[in-house]
Amino acid sequence: MSTVTPPLPYRVAGTWDETGDTRSIELVSAGRRLPPFAPGQFAMIYAFGVGEVPVSASALRGRHGGLVHTVRAVGAVSAALCRLRPGDGVGLSGPYGTGWDLEAAVGHDVLIVAGGIGLAPLRPVVHAVLDRQAAYGPLAVLVGARTPADLVYRDEIESWRGQARVEVTVDRPAPGWQGAVGVVTTLLDRLDLRPERTCALVCGPEVMMRHSARDLVTRGLAPHRIQVSLERNMHCATGHCGHCQLGPLLLCRDGPVVGYDRVADLLLVREL
Amino acid sequence: MSTDADVHASQPPASDGLVMGKDGMAALVDVLIRRGFTVVGPTARDGAIVLAELRSADELPYGWGVELEAGRYRLRERPDGAAFANAAGPQSWKSFLHPVRVREWSADRVEGELVFTADQDTPPRYAFLGVRPCDLRAIAIQDRVLTGGAYRDSGYEGRRSGALLIVVECTEPGATCFCVSMGTGPAAGPGYDLVMTEVVDEDGHRFWMRSGSQEGAEILAELPTRPADPETRETARAGVTAAADRMGRTMPEADLRELMAGTLDAPRWDDVAGRCLTCGNCTMVCPTCFCTTTEDVTDLTGDHAERWRLWDSCFDLDFSQLHGGPVRASSRSRYRQWMTHKLGTWYDQFGSSGCVGCGRCIVWCPVGIDITEEAAALHDWTQSGTSASASAPEPP
């Protein structure tokens, strides 16, 4: 058991654009460091004087050896984080929450389904699976975005193609887009899914996760073999503020990654 | 096999407790202050019985009772001069253990580096005088929420670990009380340092006192008391037993956790949403509601920032704010969140009910929404046979 303490001071080692409103930030510490993060776990990042937001690690080891987070500027804190420049200070605490259960995926085909910035918490999974390919069956990565301009990690996604089955789709194409158009679940038709051997990891907008998971169940995947990463408005990450409730779950503690079997019914209740 | 009577008979006389006269209350407050405690207890002020720091026993609400109903609270004079013959007031002990506003830490920008400092204020050592059995359970519930998980709220822990709990058993329940339904009173459960039962009859105004901890026993030993006579004990016990039979409200005879989980789509939520103002009063007065938000502030230099934690309410639209809007936009979903959490999902999260039956949410609701009535309506719906055929539209 640990007590609630202030964040640790971290410094921005690098920051770069992912899309028009989304940036990645690599954070390093000159002094005490947080314990290692597992793929899918999140940090609370504090922008000085503005506030704190939960952000999943999008890479566990960046170019400078630091933690990488990908942030979309949607509120005051995330906008402040997107304005950070190398050398700026932030507060960091974590790791919090459940990570992706990669042990459950050992020996299985790994299917990653990501919508928009939902690819961020899944990217460390891709890295982990590619690092230990012998332990897993084939890897498939399905990525959906609203428009081509909203695709994060475009170059890196391309670099996975040799080692994984990669499919990308957009809801609305733009001039020059040669790829698929449609929601991410349409990409499932392109796979030779082996439902009894597959472990699926899904992250994106809640509506996208619900449809993806249900589609996968229809295709024969057992609900407990589908993991989803859920998002709520977390203020403390330590189970004390009450904001991240989804029915019986406190998502900072029981999530963000949960088995679809635990939440399938909850996700069907409006405004839960 | 032994009976209750055998057990009582076989115990040494000390377990029968002691009797302290009304004037002993002054000594109790003095002893507590001398031992360094900040004494907090009930006092009549502004038309209500509030919890405040007490300098002397004279401040206790002698001769004040309360008249409670849904959306209504009135003080009324009692001819018997009893101090504790009044049910829960608007505040609970969480105002002291889990205060409305707490600074958690501060951050300073020093030569480009951020320096974080935890708030190190030493909390006062509280003696809570006059904790009701329902509120004793509420404290145990907040203990579990704030210090029983993987992370301990160290501020709460600091305030709580030094606190001395002096419980008063209930002999005068209010019309909105239902502690019997929730299994929390009117007799005191475990966890107190001292427990008293107030007796006022032709033999005088006195308190039957028992200790529940070493410190409680030491304090009791310093007070002007005499061994408890059987008559006082019996009158005290009878008063508590009679209180159990005079509960103003009851919860339906049902597994409330299952009832909540099984009625998420009940039409009753629309009905209550038509009355609920989403003001959040129920969450403020509830002795177990613990939700908080954070506020980050800077001073004029821009180099000093502070993190404050404030009570929050699940009735606030911002509570469930995600980019794109609140998860719970309708008042239906917000009332449902509060009630199903309190009576249902609290078990999943913290291993017990979140309701202690104190009735505050009923009294302080400006439109008089009654949680026991709402639970009964949900229960009736499950019994009516219409529930099985009802199905709500799926979210988009």
pLDDT digits (tens, 9 = 90+) for A181-210: 999 999 999 999 999 999 999 999 999 999
Q: Which band of pLDDT confidence, cut at 50, 70 and 90, is reported for residue B7?
A: very low
Residues B38 and B164 in one domain: yes
Range of A68's domain?
8-96
Distance CA B349, CA B147 (A): 13
Residues A44 and A151 in one domain: no
Residues A245 and A117 in one domain: yes
- Which residue spans within chain B are E strands per DSSP? 18-21, 38-45, 48-53, 64-69, 72-77, 101-110, 113-118, 126-131, 151-152, 164-168, 194-201, 204-211, 225-227, 292-298, 304-311, 321-322, 325-326
Average pLDDT, chain B: 93
Residues B204 and B284 in one domain: no
Q: Is the Cβ of B105 closer than 8 Å to some Cβ of chain A?
A: yes
Task: Decide: helix, strand or coil at residue B304.
Answer: strand
What the block records as the tokens of B139 is 């404290």
Q: Are strands A245-246 and B164-168 parallel, antiparallel or unpaired?
A: unpaired
Q: Which of A42, A72, A96 is the last residue of a domain?
A: A96
Residue B132, CA distances (Å) to A82, B82, B147, B196 in order: 51, 15, 22, 10
Residue with the bigger pLDDT between B5 and A132: it is A132
Residues B216 and B317 in one domain: no
Decide if B149 and A239 are in contact by the 8 Å CB cutoff: yes
Distance CA B266, CA B391 (A): 9
Does residue A182 form part of some domain? Answer: yes
Does residue B187 form part of some domain? Answer: yes
Residues A158 and A77 in one domain: no
Residues A77 and A113 in one domain: no
A92-103: per-residue pLDDT in tens?
Answer: 999 999 999 999
Residues B149 and B225 in one domain: yes
Does residue B390 form part of some domain? Answer: no
Residues B324 and B240 in one domain: no
**Number of structural domains, chain B?**
2
Q: Which of B219, B244, B269 is the last residue of a domain?
A: B244
Range of B300's domain?
256-384
Nearest-Cα residue of chain A relative to residue B106: A6
In this complex, which of B146, B324, B394 lies closest to A268 when CB atoms are compared?
Answer: B394
Q: Which of A96, A124, A153 is the last residue of a domain?
A: A96
Q: Which band of pLDDT confidence, cut at 50, 70 and 90, is reported for residue B391?
A: low
**pLDDT above 70 for B6:** no
The stretch B168-175 carries a mean pLDDT of 97
With 0.90 as the threshold, say if the pTM is over it: yes
Q: Is the Cβ of B38 closer than 8 Å to some Cβ of chain A?
A: no
Residues B239 and B263 in one domain: no
CA angle B267, B269, B270 (to 5 degrees): 70
Does residue B1 form part of some domain? Answer: no
Q: How many CB atoms lie within 10 A of CB B117?
A: 11
Decide if A231 and B330 are in contact by the 8 Å CB cutoff: no
In this complex, which of A91, A242, A268 lies closest to B107 when CB atoms are compared?
Answer: A91
The stretch B263-285 carries a mean pLDDT of 97
In this complex, which of A9, A207, A271 lies closest to B115 when CB atoms are compared?
Answer: A9
The stretch B271-283 carries a mean pLDDT of 98
Does residue B396 form part of some domain? Answer: no
Tell me whether residue B239 is exposed, middle or buried, using C-beta atoms within 10 angstroms of its C-beta: 0 to 12, 13 to 18, 19 or more. buried
In a mutational test of the A interface, the residue from B119, B157, B264 whose CB has the highest number of chain A CBs within 10 Å is B264
* pLDDT at position B10: 39
Name the minimum distance, in Å, from the CA of B45 to any CA of chain A: 31
**pLDDT above 90 for B112:** no
Amino acid sitting at position A8:
L
* pLDDT at position B393: 59
**pLDDT above 60 for B4:** no
Distance CA B129, CA B321 (A): 40
B183-236: per-residue pLDDT in tens?
Answer: 999 999 999 999 999 999 999 999 999 999 999 999 999 999 999 999 999 999
Residues B179 and B285 in one domain: no
Residues A120 and A71 in one domain: no
Task: Tell me how far the alpha carbon of residue B91 is from its chain's centroid.
Answer: 8
Which stretch of DSSP H or E encloses residue A85? none
Does residue B73 form part of some domain? Answer: yes
CATH of the domain at A130: 3.40.50.80
In this complex, which of B153, B290, B396 lies closest to A4 when CB atoms are compared?
Answer: B153
Residue with the bigger pLDDT between B98 and B111: it is B98
A19-52: per-residue pLDDT in tens?
Answer: 999 999 999 998 999 999 999 999 999 999 999 9
Does residue B2 form part of some domain? Answer: no
Does residue A3 form part of some domain? Answer: no
Amino acid sitting at position B395:
P
Residues B164 and B193 in one domain: yes
Cβ B349 vs Cβ A250: under 8 Å: yes
Give the torsion sign (CA, B44, B48, B54, B57).
Answer: positive
Residues B190 and B271 in one domain: no
Backbone angle region of B345, left / alpha / beta, with phi > 0 → left and psi within -120 to 50 → alpha: alpha
Residues A84 and A126 in one domain: no
In this structure, chain B runs to a length of 396
Residues A239 and A142 in one domain: yes
Residue in the structure block whose two tokens are 């890295």: A127
Nearest-Cα residue of chain A relative to residue B103: A6
**pLDDT above 80 for B395:** no
Does residue A224 form part of some domain? Answer: yes
A206-234: per-residue pLDDT in tens?
Answer: 999 999 999 999 999 999 999 999 999 89
Q: What is the ipTM of this complex?
A: 0.93
Does residue A2 form part of some domain? Answer: no
* pLDDT at position B388: 57
What the block records as the tokens of A72 is 């979309």
- Residues 57-76 (A) with a CB less than 8 A from some CB of B: 72, 74-75
The stretch A60-85 carries a mean pLDDT of 96
* pLDDT at position B180: 98
Residues B149 and B183 in one domain: yes
Backbone angle region of A18, left / alpha / beta, with phi > 0 → left and psi within -120 to 50 → alpha: alpha
Q: Which band of pLDDT confidence, cut at 50, 70 and 90, is reported for residue B331?
A: very high
**Number of structural domains, chain A?**
2
Residues A88 and A107 in one domain: no
* pLDDT at position B389: 52
CATH of the domain at A32: 2.40.30.10
Residues B40 and B185 in one domain: yes
Weakest-pLDDT range from B72-86, B209-223, B381-395? B381-395
Distance CA B125, CA B88 (A): 23
Q: Which of A96, A113, A128 is the last residue of a domain?
A: A96
Residues B269 and B299 in one domain: yes
Q: Which band of pLDDT confidence, cut at 50, 70 and 90, is reported for residue B324?
A: confident
Binding region of A for [2Fe-2S] cluster: 236, 241, 244, 252
What the block records as the tokens of A78 is 């995330």
Nearest-Cα residue of chain B relative to residue A8: B116
A143 DSSP β-pair partners? A114, A168
